[in-house]
């Protein structure tokens, strides 16, 4: 029983440490939660949540290559402060140069299907 309490306390401590280590710096923008993502003809097509004022210029695309994998991260540089009911919006962004045949890892989280209606 004592070992179980010790293991539980250790697990909780490790979880707290992991959360504090992975926390972002104050000047770092959080990753945008996506409804969908598609690469097409030098563009990235994103399905994102909008309150009515979302524009392609509101997003930053970050690409890195390491150990044979391309990593893509998309953040919102300007908040959508409009008051329209939240809905999905498709925006197109210029795609960074992708190497054909090399896997792409997307760091952004994705919404579960059908959580916000499309307009």
Q: Is residue 9 part of a domain?
A: no
Q: Is residue 91 part of a domain?
A: yes
Rounded CA-CA distance 67/85 in Å is 42
Q: Is residue 75 part of a domain?
A: yes
Q: Is residue 90 part of a domain?
A: yes
Query: pLDDT digit string (tens) for 39-92?
Result: 988 899 999 999 999 999 999 999 999 988 999 999 999 999 999 999 999 999
Q: Is residue 115 part of a domain?
A: no
CA dihedral 14, 19, 20, 22 (to 10 degrees): 120
pTM as predicted: 0.69
Q: Is residue 111 part of a domain?
A: no
Query: pLDDT digit string (tens) for 91-118?
Result: 999 998 888 888 999 999 998 766 556 6
Q: What are phi and psi of 43, to 5 degrees?
A: -125, 155
List the 87-94 sheet strands across, edge first.
Answer: 36-40, 43-50, 87-94
Residue 71: domain span: 27-106
């Amino acid at each position: 029983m004592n070992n179980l309490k010790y293991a539980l306390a250790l697990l909780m401590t490790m979880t707290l440490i992991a959360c504090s280590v992975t926390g972002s710096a104050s000047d770092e923008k959080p990753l945008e939660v996506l409804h969908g993502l598609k690469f097409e003809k030098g563009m990235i097509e994103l399905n994102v949540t909008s309150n009515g004022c979302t524009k392609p210029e509101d997003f930053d695309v970050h690409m890195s290559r390491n150990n044979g994998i391309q990593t893509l991260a998309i953040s919102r540089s300007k908040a959508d402060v409009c008051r329209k009911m939240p809905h999905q919006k498709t925006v197109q962004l210029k795609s960074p140069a992708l190497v054909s045949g090399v896997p792409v890892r997307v760091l952004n989280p994705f919404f579960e299907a059908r959580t916000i209606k499309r307009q």
